[in-house]
Structure 1
Amino acid sequence: MMSDGTDGFITDIPMSFKKRSGKAIIVLPNGERAIARREAIIDNSMIKVIARAYRWQRMLLDGTHSSIDDLSRAEKITASYVSRVLRLAYLSPTIVEAILDGKYPAHLRLKDLMEPFPLDWDRQVAHFFVEK
């Protein structure tokens, strides 16, 4: 703390602000939320894309579609997008549960899930839950 020249003091507190489901939250340098939330913050976009990954995986495994290209044509989206979403069917159950419960780290966003990640579950937890 230092004096601001008046009778008060100025205190610097390292933190950042992140948007989460349309709401601003305060994030401390260690990645934790500054204010403990009373309820979970559910990100429906993350949940929907994970559900889509499991649905598409099931459609490929049960023979509904014979390939990613076939699936992408049926869904009218690019094969590249289908491939990136399908990876989410291999997320660690710990990560999926945290997302479903709204207990994931404040820095984690849908765009992070869409980037390449390790297949090993322990390495996934380190990859997604440690702020970069």
Structure 2
Amino acid sequence: MSKTTDTVTLHVPFTIRKYGGRKQVITPNGAPAAIEKPRVDSTLVKALARAFRWKKMLESGQFTTITELAKHENLALTYMTRVLRLSLLAPDIVEMILAGRQPPEMTLAALLEPLPVEWEGQKWMLYEQPAPNVLAQSS
């Protein structure tokens, strides 16, 4: 009886990313290797809550300027304006964050970077997916 020594090698491309202190395997199409339970990022949720609260305070006339509100909240004006921009996020992005379904790359630091006001442009920047109407407008 003879042994066969045929070896099969299988190459599966993947990357490993850290998210919340845990390592996660990401498949070539960018999806997690296993379906995980939604994880609500309390930092993102808190920032969204602050943004919408501050927006309401400004719109109601409780404070007339962002500078006045920043002084009242004892925060740097630059930080407040960056967080306030979160109130301009597309509704489906806000819902995704509140449900804990945001991709691992969607961190507070990423969301505080300048984003387009247009919702399709936001999705394109955050998901790196083409948004045809945004690309068509820029040509």
TM-score for the superposition, normalised by structure 1: 0.84
8 Å CA contact retained: 1:42, 1:101: yes
Q: What residue in structure 2 maps to residue 90 of structure 1?
A: 88
Letter in 1 for 2:74: K
Letter in 2 for 1:75: E
Q: What residue in structure 2 maps to residue 3 of structure 1?
A: none
Q: What residue in structure 1 maps to residue 12 of structure 2?
A: 13
Aligned residues: 125
CA–CA distance in 2 between the matches of 1:127 and 1:64?
34
Q: What residue in structure 2 maps to residue 23 of structure 1?
A: 22
CA–CA distance in 2 between the matches of 1:108 and 1:26?
16
Q: 1:118 aligns with which of 116, 119, 132?
A: 116
1:16-55, aligned counterparts within 5 Å?
16-37=15-36, 39-55=37-53
Q: What residue in structure 1 maps to residue 73 of structure 2?
A: 75
CA–CA distance in 2 between the matches of 1:50 and 1:100?
9
- Structure of greater relative contact order (alpha carbons < 8 Å, 6+ residues apart): 1
Letter in 2 for 1:122: E
Letter in 2 for 1:59: M
Q: Deviation per CA, 1:15-74: give whole Å up to 9, x if none.
A: 22223233222222322111111x211111111101110000011111111111111111
Gaps of 5+ in 2: 130-139
TM-score for the superposition, normalised by structure 2: 0.80
Cα RMSD (Å): 1.9
Instruction: Name the % identity.
Output: 35
Gaps of 5+ in 1: 1-5
Q: What residue in structure 2 maps to residue 57 of structure 1?
A: 55
